[in-house]
Amino acid sequence: MRLRPGPALCLLFGASALLAGMRDYRPVERLQIVLSGELKGYLSPCGCSKPMIGGVARRGTYLDSLQKSGPTVRIEGGNFTLALTRQDEIKAETVVEILNELKYDALCLGQSDFRMGIPYLQALASRFKGKTLCANVLGSDGKPIFGETGIVERTVEGQKVRIGIVSVTSPAHEAIIRQLNPDVTVEEPGTTLRRLAPQLASCQVRVFVYDGPKEDATNLASEGPFQIVLMQGGEEPKSERSGETLLLTAGTQGRYIGTIPVDGAGRAETPQFRTLDPDLIDHEGVKKHLAAYLGRVDSEDLLGKVPRFPLATGDAFAGSSTCAPCHDKADRVWKGSLHAKALATLEKEGHQRDPECVGCHVVGLDKVGGFESAHKSPDLADVGCESCHGPAARHAKDPGVKLGKVGTASCAPCHVPEHSPKFDFNAYWERIKH
């Protein structure tokens, strides 16, 4: 007689089989292409609207989390600083150190980067451990000055996958690029891509980074053919498909980062855009580079070297405490506002000597007689009375000398869309009305 297993025994066998299956199961590994661009010098979040998003330290933490799901290829698009000041040079060097820390494979050059000058960019390229790319900016000898292609290999599901990266800039930018580099020329992008086609032929995945108009990028994508095209421009990240090609922007100012999974056939799947919000803690390695950057800004006294413009004849700053005796109610409202704590917010983040930040947290940084330091001019610290009403020394001596009326224009220099996207004068005025 054959015995039939009871319900409990069946359950036991079923659970064992399930556990065995779980031991054998592992998620399908995916190659992920990581894209970021148009950093424009925003190494840290900036703004007075919460939550503040962005920052390369948060980016580092997010990139670490990606390692759990498979290999990545990391590409930084062009225009990584505005390249206008000494501070931008220090930033550029810091960006390279951070990209090395985060094991980036490619750093692409955009139009604004060339404002640093070719020799300076070459020095940066020598420090970058990945490939510095711009295939169609040619020297006087007619040869590309920087890398033409970046080809990297990754192992996915036991198979070697070759990824080819190409970066070019639009001929429309030639005048900007030649300002500091008169000997260079910008080759027509289609010519460049056709020249590079043999180098890319063995790559299963091809990525094209283009600093130029979207319509051009769409037309050029077929030259690879490229599965992924990163375009410059656009505050927010966006993506769309043109046939088998995925075209996208990754946003600006380092606020987002894009990841594109690639399947076994090399097809770019739906991209994911991660907002770098406060949920992401700061990456410890990147924090060290940022601290070194702020140390350099301080040691070179860039705050003390801010150009200062003269005030109108007879005008001078009086300081917020001078206003208090006659404007007691307004003084109490001010002291209860965030304006009165503006410099302290920078001190908390270590940016109290950073001229790019301090200007909107004190009185008259860019004016003769304005804020110099918390020690030398403490009464001009924070967003004080004269930040909005203008220099008040003459008014303090003679109340008959009237100050300008406060309105939207008073707030405009600091409450710009990039830093204060929710700003509405009427709503904000209600908080500090006096």
| 393: Cβ contacts below 8 Å, ≥ 6 apart | 315, 316, 317, 318
Instruction: Tell me the per-residue pLDDT of 384-432, one tens digit each, with 9 for 90 and over.
Output: 999 999 999 999 999 999 987 888 988 999 999 888 888 998 988 888 8
- Give residue 16's pLDDT: 54
C-beta separation of 115 from 141 below 8 A: no
For residue 10, pLDDT beyond 80: no
Burial class of residue 432 (count of CB atoms within 10 Å of its CB; 0-12, 13-18, 19+): middle
**CB proximity list for 237: less than 8 A, separation 6 or greater:** 248, 249, 250, 251, 256, 258, 273
Give the pLDDT confidence of 117-148 residue by residue, as tens digits.
999 999 999 999 999 999 999 999 999 999 99
Q: What is the model's pLDDT at position 24?
A: 52
> What CATH number should be reported for the domain whose range is 31-294?
3.60.21.10
pLDDT score at 1 = 45
- Residue 235 is given by DSSP the state S
- The predicted pLDDT at position 9 comes to 46
- Give percent of the chain above pLDDT 90: 79
**pLDDT, averaged across the chain:** 92
Residue 22 has pLDDT above 70, yes or no: no
Distance CA 371, CA 302 (A): 14
CA separation, residue 323 to residues 44, 120, 186, 392, 429 (Å): 35, 49, 58, 8, 19
- Where do the CATH 1.10.1130.10 domains begin and end in the chain? 308-432
pLDDT in tens, 201-221: 999 999 999 999 888 998 999
Q: CB-based burial of residue 204 (10 Å sphere; 0-12 exposed, 13-18 middle, 19+ buried)?
A: middle
Task: Tell me the H-state helices in 186-256.
Answer: 189-200, 214-220
Rounded to whole angstroms, the Cα distance separating 433 from 330 reads 8
Contact between 171 and 186 (Cβ < 8 Å): yes
Which fold would CATH assign to domain 308-432? Answer: Flavocytochrome C3; Chain A, domain 2 (1.10.1130)
For 86, the token pair is: 């000494």
pLDDT > 70 in the chain, percent: 94
Range in 171-180, 212-221, 346-355 the model is least confident about: 212-221
Q: What is the C-alpha to C-alpha distance for residues 322 and 296, in angstroms, rounded to an integer? A: 35
The pLDDT value recorded for residue 3 is 47
Contact of 244 with 30, CB cutoff 8 Å: no
CATH 3.60.21.10 domain extents, the chain: 31-294
Band (67; pLDDT cuts 50, 70, 90): confident
Q: CA 208, 214, 217, 222 torsion: positive or negative?
A: positive
Cβ atoms of 91 and 99 within 8 Å: the answer is no
| pLDDT tens track for 267-301 | 899 999 999 999 999 999 999 999 999 999 999 99
User: Residue 2's pLDDT is what?
Assistant: 47
